[in-house]
Copies of this chain bind each other. A is one copy, B any other.
């Protein structure tokens, strides 16, 4: 979505400079300050900030772009560009915070999933593991194969190195989560707006945590995997903070918030986010690993309870798929076989149908004139949905 998103991003109104470059500059300043501060403490701590900076500064900025674009759309519609210009600093603050929230979630998510790679390059944990031997590097990995007892593919990394790397990942996630709140708490807006923003942040964090908990519970088998639970997990884990949060934050910051608008944006965010996540599940199961940047078959190998799998569980093909699913030892030939089974049994088609359902629901939400959602905002959301559709092919 991102590349297309970037290309077709709505033009901000002339009075307001809503460039993503300002968010990038803020992020660069933040990391530079933190690295400087960290150097006064300990080299290991400074190193952690440097690794995090390298990985975070190269992100795609989907969420801050969405916030900036949508704030611009609302500002243009309400023709209150002066008010809006006064709050551009606050918009950049919150857009920066939204990006750091994403980075924080990714760090903890990689710990939960045991991932050492993201988009084809080592993630923070992978970098720390690869980085060469600490004194205890030679400690043996127990036998028993590709998964350690935390349910994680441990590869050839020594346990102490992995433990160190994961600890650093958790701590860095904590630091970024703290910074997100600092940005929300300090941004220069009216008290009522800040309270609304803080409420929204709490809501987004709660839903993301519930979603993450369900995701892990589904994978570990502590939560039963049915399609409804998997869909709710997707909405909670991804849709809320990726779509609902930027959209509603933009409305608050643009002074366009109202209970009806909030409700419409929450619904629109859920539908867009769920469609986005379902697309992501399709792409990572059936797509080209060169394009989506994940290991081919890694979701299947790890036993990730995606909507595709939830659908396949309901079919007669499942007994053929189950032995390979989450086995941790899925090679390319077996991966391709499972992929074919998932297509044949109708799971792929079923998920495409779910995406269509979300798109229909989005159009219904936007067609409801009682929400008071400005036309330009509607158009922005519909344009987003179109780009999502394009991503299917």
Contact = CB atoms under 8 A, between A and B. Distances in A.
Kindly name the residue among A149, A173, A207, A210 whose own CB sees the greatest number of chain B CB atoms within 10 A: A149
Contact of A178 (B44, B162, B205): B205
B182 A202 contact: yes
Nearest to A212: B171
B154 A149 contact: yes
B174 A216 contact: no
A180 B48 CA distance: 24
Contacts of A166: 150
B160 A112 contact: no
Given A149-B141, A159-B148, A173-B174, A222 B164 contact: yes
Nearest to A326: B136
Interface string A172-197: 01110110011011100000001100
A217 interface: yes
B177 A151 contact: no
Interface residues of A, number: 68
Contacts of A173: 174
Given A41-B210, A170-B111, A171-B209, A151 B163 contact: yes
A31 interface: no
A202 B185 contact: no
A13 interface: no
A167 interface: yes
A205 B175 CA distance: 8
Contact of A221 (B38, B136, B147): B136
A144 interface: yes
Nearest to A209: B171
A134 to B, nearest CB: 4
- Count of chain copies: 2
A375 interface: no
A209 B174 CA distance: 8
A167 B112 contact: yes
Given A178-B177, A198-B185, A151 B159 contact: yes
Contacts of A112: 163, 167, 170
A156 to B, nearest CB: 11
B178 A185 contact: no
Given A150-B159, A159-B151, A186-B198, A170 B222 contact: no
A130 to B, nearest CB: 13
A314 to B, nearest CB: 17
B142 A222 contact: no
A144 B152 CA distance: 17
Contacts of A159: 147-151
A137 to B, nearest CB: 8
A87 interface: no
Given A144-B142, A194-B185, A213-B167, A174 B220 contact: no
A193 to B, nearest CB: 13
Given A143-B144, A185-B185, A170 B170 contact: yes
A37 interface: yes
Contacts of A164: 216-217, 220, 222
A202 B33 CA distance: 13
Contacts of A214: 42, 44-45
Given A44-B217, A150-B166, A168-B213, 8 more contacts: A42-B232, A44-B213, A112-B170, A135-B221, A150-B159, A167-B220, A174-B205, A185-B185
